[in-house]
Amino acid sequence: MIRSQYVDTTYGQVHLRTAGSADLPPLILLHQTASSSIMYAAMMTLLSADYWVIALDTPGFGQSFVPAEKPSTALYAAAFYAALERLGIANCYLFGHHTGAAIAVQMAHDYPALVHKLCLAGPPLLTAQQITYLEKTLLPFEPTGDYISAIWQRTAQKSSDLPANLLYREALLTLHAGAQLSAAYHAVFEQDFAGQLATITCPTLLLAGEHDSLRASLEPTHALLPNSSMAVIPNAGTFVCDLQPTAVVELLMEFLV
């Protein structure tokens, strides 16, 4: 069973979903933008017999607090760390997808004693050209019918075979995020991702779907992490955690042993 709860921190209330027993090793899951912890529901069910699985909503997304200040990956990481402290977690396995991978790297850099093993799905090691392109695709938040239509189209373009229910969910979550959508992207653009990677020494698994938009980041990220391994999931894309959860879990379980 997946349960939902809030944790009070000095930053605000962090919403999370949990599965499994608290006496099992904790495994923390961080979602992509602009989704929420709901993207991990299938994976959580598969993992709950072996781990205390905790999926967190990033501040500004899902049901977590909206930051009063300009967001940064450091702010996201600090809020998550405070939430884990309140849960009594001093050491964990950490999994992040896309923006979640950026926050996971920030956490491993800022709180190295916290992370026993790290998994980055679609690590956002972005080139200057990629950042420029992504900046051009960001839509200024406008609560209008045109904006709603544009978000629907933007979400649909992420995958040619996105199931209707998943497209609907992700479009609604993006609309709910509002201005926090572009704020999270800029937080990732401004992060020293490569510099932080170079400080990480814990075992790290890098993975991506074959057609993931960040698939090309695997090899450059691997080159910066001597203690890392790589895996590519065939016929999978950006929504691999939703659509191929068994394949992701099998790789993750083998890595965490």
What average pLDDT does the segment 60-88 reach? 98
Residue 230 has pLDDT above 90, yes or no: yes
pLDDT band at 47 (very low <50, low <70, confident <90, very high): very high
| Cβ count within 10 A of residue 226 | 10
Residue 227 has pLDDT above 80, yes or no: yes
CB 200, CB 122: distance < 8 Å? no
Domain 3-126+191-256 grouped into CATH 3.40.50.1820: yes
- The token pair that represents 6 in the structure block: 């809030």
What pLDDT, on a 0 to 100 scale, did the predictor assign at position 143? 86
User: Computed from CA positions of residues 214, 216, 221, 227, in that sequence, does the dihedral angle turn out positive or negative?
Assistant: positive
CB 201, CB 227: distance < 8 Å? yes
Residue 144 has pLDDT above 80, yes or no: yes
* DSSP for 177-198, written as a single string: HTTHHHHHHHHHHHS-HHHHHT
Extents of the domains making up the chain: 3-126+191-256
What pLDDT, on a 0 to 100 scale, did the predictor assign at position 160? 76
What pLDDT, on a 0 to 100 scale, did the predictor assign at position 126? 97
CB 184, CB 124: distance < 8 Å? no
Q: Please give the Cα distance from 121 to 6 (Å, whole number).
A: 26
Per the prediction, the chain carries an average pLDDT of: 96
Is the pTM higher than 0.85?
yes
